[in-house]
Amino acid sequence: MKTIKILVLALAGFALVAFVGKDMYKTHPGHGYEIGDMATDFSLMNIDGQKVSLSDFEKARGYIITFTCNHCPFSVAYEDRLIELDQKYKSQGYPVIAINPNNPASYPEDSFENMKVRAQEKGFTFPYIFDEGQHIYPQYGATKTPHMFVLKKTKAGNRVEYIGAIDDNVWNEEAVRTRYIEQVVDALLAGKEPPYRKTKAIGCSIKR
């Protein structure tokens, strides 16, 4: 009987460890968000010298978040399309928020000062903020620039609805067949389930 009790307690202990371990894996900042997770807010410096948080956008219905940078050719190829997305969806409650996750010590081109220059050159219509200390991109699980996340604002928080690419053709916008972000946001605005949840982000690796 004593042996059985010890065995039961041991099994219960293993079950508890497995449960806690699973929860830690889900929330540990390095494994990133999954669809349906609630994204925590942040407070990061924008190129205008003001901190930006998701909570600043009181009338937002959600957010189109992109992890991007100055130097990556994939990011550069998508800059005009990000501006178009912001111009199309900001007024409908889904603004674009661009976050530079790279360490400028590794790539000086991605420094905060150069972010200001690039934003002015391109006429960015959206916040371009710096992940100083690189604390935010691991929470999201971003690995590329660009890497897209669509969040929907709910009573429970900002729910992750989509993770992946902007569309299916980096180098030739005229040849794009599937515009993932547009179709996802259009579905959310219509109160429908997004047709895509996860796609493969194509781009440069984030520089630590």
Q: Assess contact for 194 and 206: CB atoms under 8 A.
A: no
How far apart are alpha carbons 66 and 136 in whole angstroms? 12
How far apart are alpha carbons 208 and 101 in whole angstroms? 8
Alpha-helix runs per DSSP H in 63-166: 73-89, 112-122, 136-140
Q: Dump pLDDT digits (tens) for 141-158.
A: 999 999 999 999 999 999
- pLDDT, average across residues 45-64: 97
Q: Dump pLDDT digits (tens) for 34-52.
A: 999 999 999 999 999 999 9
Q: Which of 122, 43, 15 has the alpha carbon at shortest distance from 76?
A: 122
User: Hey, what CATH class is 33-205 in?
Assistant: alpha beta
Return left, alpha or beta for 103; rule: phi > 0 is left, psi -120 to 50 is alpha, else beta: beta
Q: Assess contact for 194 and 187: CB atoms under 8 A.
A: yes
SS3 sequence of 29-40: CCCCCCCCCEEC
- pLDDT, average across residues 91-109: 97
How far apart are alpha carbons 203 and 132 in whole angstroms? 21
pTM score of the predicted model: 0.85
What are the structural domain ranges in the chain?
1-31, 33-205
Q: Which of 95, 104, 102 has the alpha carbon at shortest distance from 52?
A: 95
Q: What is the pLDDT of residue 31?
A: 80
